[in-house]
Copies of this chain bind each other. A is one copy, B any other.
Amino acid sequence: MADTHPGAAPAQVHWNLDPVVEQLRMSREVTHKIRHQGTIRELPSKSALVGILHGLCAVLFPTHYGRAGLTDESIDYFVGDTLNTTLSLLSEQVRRGLVFNAEARGLPGAELGERAVRITREFASQLPSIRALLVSDLQAAYQGDPAATSIAEILLCYPGTVAVIYYRLAHALYLLGSQLVARLISDIAHSDTGIDIHPGAQIGGSFFIDHGTGVVIGQTAVIGQHVRLYQAVTLGARRFPADETGALIKGNARHPIVEDDVVIYAGATILGRITIGRGSTIGGNVWLTRDVPPGSNVSQADARSNCPE
């Protein structure tokens, strides 16, 4: 019988491919169709974006994320060459993503390409100021964690660093009109670090997330300067308003505003368009759905202890 020795004669195994291929086609094209207007569109590629992000990190911090063997005489050659190849790759991803923008969808292919080039060129011109913001974040991390021993450690070993770099890059692309690529970047950061920052969120300088796994920052959140978060903090939406058909209403401001100099400890859940006033401290595991005035201290009720005796 054909299946007897799969190791010795794997060529003989019969999988009934034809009916499965046929049923999958039916599912794709008829019964469970999700393809937009029946056309195949080329999608942005997550693995291409991973390479692009490595390129951008190398451009921003070449001695930490670039290549070994860089010297003062060679570093600008490396930065310029890496920038050139990275921007070309990014431009192609931006072009693919534009097809999913409502207002760009109908444009002819050549115009999409032109627009992608313009977005990418503008993005490139913002890299120096993005670097300035990121340096403020690194210094905030160094000052904010007693365990940190050097800026190098913060660049290499802190998941929050990766999450914030990727967020700042994604946010710039988001504002320039490349939302799908920006979302893919935030998903890559999420997968690498467990930190989920929507690229639409607005975050000021000197921002630090320690540990970070489980942090969620929603699309319309607004965060000031010198804010510090710990793991599992949620800046989320409360229940979503639905329209009369039961569909959720999209796009309205629904996430918190966190003012300057706020610290939010691990596991705090802060929901809705509320404001955490400047200089406040929110304790761990707190559940918070209302405004908090500047300088507040919010903490959870004690746990019930049941000691043996």
Q: Would you call B300 and A306 a contact (CB within 8 A)?
A: no
- Which residue of B has the minimal Cβ distance to A295? B308
Check A156 against B187 for contact (C-beta < 8 Å): yes
* Contact B32 A131, beta carbon cutoff 8 Å: yes
Would A306 and B298 count as touching, CB distance under 8 A? Answer: yes
Cβ of A42 within 8 Å of any chain B Cβ, yes or no, is: yes
Assess the A306–B301 pair: CB atoms within 8 A: no
A70 to B146, CA, bound (A): 42
Q: Which residues 95-119 in A have Cβ within 8 Å of B in the complex?
A: 95, 100, 109-110, 112-114, 116-118
Q: Which residues of B contact A82 (CB under 8 A)?
A: 81
Asked if A196 is an interface residue, CB under 8 A from chain B, the answer is: yes
Asked, given contacts A84-B15, A135-B34, whether A183 binds B157 with beta carbons under 8 Å apart, the answer is yes
A73-B14, A146-B248 as given contacts; A95 in contact with B6, CB under 8 Å: yes
Minimum CB–CB distance for A71 against chain B, Å: 6
Would you call the interface of chain A mostly helix, strand, loop, or mixed?
Answer: mixed
A216 and B266 contact, CB distance less than 8 A: yes
Number of residues on chain A facing chain B (CB within 8 A): 164
Closest Cβ neighbor of A187 among chain B residues: B157
- Min CB distance, A181 to chain B, in Å? 10
Q: Determine the chain B residues whose CB is within 8 A of the CB of A71 once the complex forms.
A: 11-14, 40, 84
CA distance in complex: A67, B86 (Å): 13
A283 at the interface (CB under 8 A from B): yes
Evaluate whether A251 and B6 lie within 8 angstroms (CB atoms) in the complex, with A21-B83, A269-B266, A269-B284 already known.
Answer: no
Chain B positions within 8 Å of A200 at CB level: 147
Q: A20-B128, A146-B249 are in contact. Are A110 and B4 (CB under 8 A)?
A: yes
